[in-house]
Each structure stands twice: as structure tokens, then as C-alpha cells.
Structure 1
Amino acid sequence: MSVLEQMRGGIVVSCQPVDHGPMDHPQIVAAMAQAAIAGGAKAVRIEGVENVQAVRPHLTAPIIGIVKRDLPNSPVRITPFLEDVIALADAGADVIAYDGTDRTRPHSTADLAAGIVAQGKVAMADCGELSDGRRATEEGAQILGSTLSGYLGEHLASDQDVPDYVMVRKLKRLGLFTMAEGRYTSPARAREGFVHGADAVTVGTALTRLEIMTSWFSAEAPNG
């Protein structure tokens, strides 16, 4: 069964703890990933080469790998370098996701997509708008994600905002495997993502960022 078929119709769990938090360790990320699969997830999304290396021996399910960087001359954070692509492939990622937006960057989206395919991996473009999806389709991506919708431009979303279901529908019309991602913080929202055409739905903060989820509950407590 192909990687896409393994993920189709399922939940992907983004196992990305809060940066520098108490859960930000490869062994804990690996445990998160195993727990997610035990709970029914069909794949996991893992940030960082060391974390992918830690997770890989424990899973046969697909791993979507990314590297996040803060660059001085580019707003792009998700897998900006071809070197990141090679390192993630060597670490055992099945899918490599990259920032698919049209912004200043060290390596073009076309080069990143081609580099991922050259490594024998599935290329996933994290899109901010429909034009990103169109370009990614032409450049050889196999998965289009709504990951960055609402996080660019003038109208920035917060974790409390609803997912961009319209974006999911638009990406789906391009004909590729469509990943709904971004603000899917409840089972109802995940279900709605599938209703709007998603092939898979990624859930992150609501499952793996304990500090953030706890703060949501604490805010409702008299002594929160």
C-alpha cells in the first residue's frame, strides 16, 4: 500500500511539543508518536531530524518530516534548505513537507519539490493560498496542505479560530491528495474537514502541546 493510501481517510498527528518545553526531547516525541498510532492515527508529522530518527525505529506508519528554522533573510520556516530535505530523507521520513508559499527563500519551491522526489520521498507543499497549491501541483508535489492558511498576510489566525474549510475545498479541486491542517482542535472540526473534501486531517496542538491545551482549560477555572 502506498504512503498516500495508508493516510487516506485518516488522522495525522503532529507530534511537535512546545519549543524548549519539558516535553521537547526526542524520546518523548517518539513516545507521543507511538501513542498517536495506538490511538488510531494513520501517520505522524515530526519536526527535526533528530526527532525523526528517534521515531522511525518504533513505527511502520508514515512519517511526515519537516525542519523548522528561523532565518535572518526569509520568513520561510518549514524545510527551507535542500540540505534539510536530504537529512530528513536519511533520517527515515516517508513524506517531506516544505513551505510552498511564494516568498523570499534560500531555495525555490521547485527545487525543494524536485529534491524530495529525487530522494524517493513524497513531496508535501504547505500552502497559504490557492496559488501556492497550483504552483506546487505544477512543480511535482503529491500532497497539498492547508497548513499555512490564516498565518500569512494581513489577517492572521489564532489557535482559537476555525479551520479554513474553504481552502480545503479549493485545494481538493486541483486533484492532488489534500491534507487539512491548521486549527483542527476538536473531533468535530476534524470531521468537518473530511466533509469539505480532505483526504486526511492533521491535528497538532490539541493533542501534543500540553502546555497550550492546559492553558485553555485553566482560563475557564475560577483560579485560572
Structure 2
Amino acid sequence: MKNNHELIQSLKNELIVSCQALPGEPLYKEEGGVMVLMAQAAIEAGAAGIRAQGVTDIKQIKDAFDIPVIGIIKREYPSFDSYITVTMKEVDELVEAGSDIIAMDATFAKRGDGKTINGFFKEVKEKYPDQLFMADISTLEEGLNAAEIGFDLIGTTMNGYTEETKEQTDVNFQLMKDLVEQTDRFIVAEGKLHYPEQLKKAFETGIHTAVVGGAITRPLDIAKRFIHALPNN
């Protein structure tokens, strides 16, 4: 079993593939079984890690493969603008499921419990001091804050998906570069990476690793991009 340092180093200059499906999506099954096959395909292609959503999929992937898994739980709560691993309930479930790294929304989004991300993460680290955590952020300020409060990895996951960054419709290479240069954390490129050329450019900014999901494991979205290119659309 790798220790935390060895696990993070195993992801350096490698690709993590996000294998997720939510209720209402074509590949979602409550009993699982689909995302573990997606993970198998990604691993056979050379992926060094998997990002997965939900206890069932995480456990199935962990049981099937000896590979680092970034675990998240997407769950909406009233008065919370964020939805990625936002309460201790999700953190507890992800630890129990065996997530090697737990990712959570580390933006400054409104929390219905009245806590800040700083206060919440302090509680999380006190409960799970040896667990690796990844901050999903949208701005440089949020990334700098995540580094200061002790996240191990910082991902550009939420850039373009918050009110403050909604005008950002393409990959934000500058944010990656700024995070690399202004923090001492492991930076993860994630979000809007649709083409290999973009992935190559992302690594040129000095990032540690990258997550690609939609371009690989979401056939509905992939098909829509081609359908929109048809002459009659």
C-alpha cells in the first residue's frame, strides 16, 4: 500500500479519468456496474487514477483495481450553492468507501450551515488528519485560500461553474499557471479539457496531474457535440 507521498507522486504527469453518472443519466444504475467498466477501459488505456462519484461506484472500482481513486459525493442541500462533498456526512461516507483522495467544493460559495469552507475544513482535518484532500476551486483567491488551510491538492474543477467565473467558457490555463507559481501544493487541471492538445498545454503550465471526464466517459455529451455540428442544426 502506498503512503500519501507515494500515492501523490504516482499521479505526476499522468492522467486521471473521471467516471461518473448521476440519477437520470443514461449510464446511471443504482446498483452500479457501469462506471467500474468505464474505469477498466480508462485503466487499460493507461490512466493512473480514477475520479468517481458515490459510494457504490467508488467501492466497486476500489475492489476491482489497485489504483488511486479521488472520491466525491454530489448531493444537494437547501441553502447550499455548492454540492460536491459539502458536509461531514459525505466525508464520512467517502472515507468508509476507501477513497484515496477526497475532493470537495472549496469555493467561497454560500453554505446553508453558516460555516465557511475554512471552518468546515478545519473540522474535517481534525477528524481525518491522515486523509488526502483535494480542493475544487474556481478562482485564484480560492486556490490560495485552499493552500493556506491545508488542502493537499488543488483542482481548477469549478472554474467557469460559479457565479464569479461563469464568463470563463474555455480551459483556464492562466489559472493553472498562477496556482503553480503562487502555491506549494499539487495542482490538478480539471474542467473543459476536451482535446489532447489542451491536455498537453495544461501540463506545460507546470501542473502535477490532470482529470478528464466528459470528453472520455460521458457519451451523451460527446454525441451532442457531434449532433450540434450537423448541417441542419
Unaligned residue ranges in structure 1 (runs of 5+):
none
Q: CA 1:157–1:15 in structure 2 vs 1: closer, same or farther (change >3 Å)?
A: farther
Q: After superposition, where does 1:2-151 map in structure 2 within 5 Å?
A: 2-17=6-21, 19-25=23-29, 26-105=32-111, 106=113, 108-110=116-118, 111-112=120-121, 115=124, 118=128, 120-151=130-161
Aligned partners of 2:21 and 2:53 also within 8 Å: no
Q: Distance in 2 between matches of 1:43 and 1:116?
A: 23
Matched, 1:162 2:170: yes
Matched to 2:194, the amino acid is T
- Partners of 2:165 and 2:210 lie apart in 1 by 23
Contact 1:89-1:119 within 8 A present in 2 as well: no
The CA deviation at 1:205 is 0.5
AA aligned to 1:150 is G
RMSD, aligned α-carbons: 1.9
Give the TM-score normalised by the residue count of structure 1.
0.92
Match of 1:186?
195
Aligned-residue identity in percent: 29
Does the CA contact (< 8 Å) of 1:178 and 1:200 recur in 2?
yes
Q: Distance in 1 between matches of 2:34 and 2:156?
A: 27
State the AA in 2 paired with 1:153: E
For residues 111-131 of structure 1, the C-alpha deviation after alignment (integer angstroms, 9 at most, x for no partner) is 336525716321100011111
Change (3 A) 1:190 1:33: same
Question: Which residues of structure 2 form unaligned runs of 5+?
Answer: none
Q: Distance in 2 between matches of 1:67 and 1:75?
A: 15
